């Protein structure tokens, strides 16, 4: 075959194969957005799932200003009915109005439970000694309310959660429409060895 142009043929015909084609009109795949909070959302799903039949030890953490609302106390009472509940309340002052309100309102909402108040100064030997009392109270079906200073709230909560072998730690807080829960930590089941 000859690559020569026949006489009288237009010159553009030879380059027809090189002409750009119309752009493809297919839809591009949807972008995948990966949120760093994906694990947090999965934890919230786990939080909402009801696990009836399983004994769950829950440590609920709240600050002094959240303790005075009815919605927060109602949410704590719901948790106490379903789980073994231990409340850790941080106090900003020594007057303790928030903790007294939590204890009084919990006693009113949970007449069949003993609500036991316990003062803990900070993490360390004192908390380890109080852990035996907390375990006994939980075993007896009581709801212990640990009162501690706001500055050591996280450290005391972490130590108590470890000592009583809690299954999960929840942050309880007041919102404009009621009370909110945020799962801080959850113990993953240990594999069984047979």
**Burial letters 85-117, b for 16+ CB under 10 A, else e:** bbbbbbbeeeebebbbbbbebbeebbeebebbb
Q: pLDDT at position 148, please?
A: 92
pLDDT at 52: 47
- Please report which confidence band the pLDDT of residue 134 belongs to, taking 50, 70 and 90 as the band edges: very high
Give me the CATH topology for the region 56-186.
Answer: Carbamate kinase (3.40.1160)
Q: Residue 21's pLDDT is what?
A: 54
On the question of pLDDT at 131 being above 60, the answer is yes
Residues 108 and 125: their CA atoms lie apart, in Å, by 33
- pTM beyond cutoff 0.85: no
% of the chain beyond a pLDDT of 90: 42
Pairing label, strands 115-119, 57-63: unpaired
Residue 164 predicted with pLDDT over 90: yes
Return the top range by mean pLDDT from 52-56, 125-129, 143-147.
143-147
Asked if residue 90 lies in contact with residue 153, where contact means CB atoms within 8 angstroms, the answer is: yes
């Amino acid at each position: 075959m000859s690559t020569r142009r026949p006489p009288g043929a237009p010159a553009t015909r030879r380059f027809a194969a090189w002409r750009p084609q119309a752009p493809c009109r297919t839809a591009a795949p949807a972008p995948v957005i990966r949120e760093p909070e994906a694990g947090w959302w999965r934890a919230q799903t786990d939080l909402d799932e009801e696990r009836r039949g399983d004994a769950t030890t829950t440590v609920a953490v709240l600050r002094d200003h959240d303790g005075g609302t009815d919605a927060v106390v109602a949410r704590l009472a719901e948790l106490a009915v379903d789980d073994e509940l231990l409340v850790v309340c941080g106090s900003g002052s020594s007057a303790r109005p928030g903790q007294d309100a939590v204890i009084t309102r919990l006693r009113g909402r949970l007449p069949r439970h003993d609500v036991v108040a316990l003062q803990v100064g900070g993490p360390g030997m004192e908390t380890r000694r109080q852990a035996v009392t907390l375990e006994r109270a939980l075993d007896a079906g009581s709801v212990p309310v640990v009162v501690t200073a706001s500055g050591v709230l996280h450290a005391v909560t972490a130590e108590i959660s470890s000592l009583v072998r809690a299954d999960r730690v929840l942050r309880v807080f007041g919102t404009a429409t009621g009370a909110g829960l945020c799962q801080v930590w959850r113990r993953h089941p240990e594999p069984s060895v047979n």
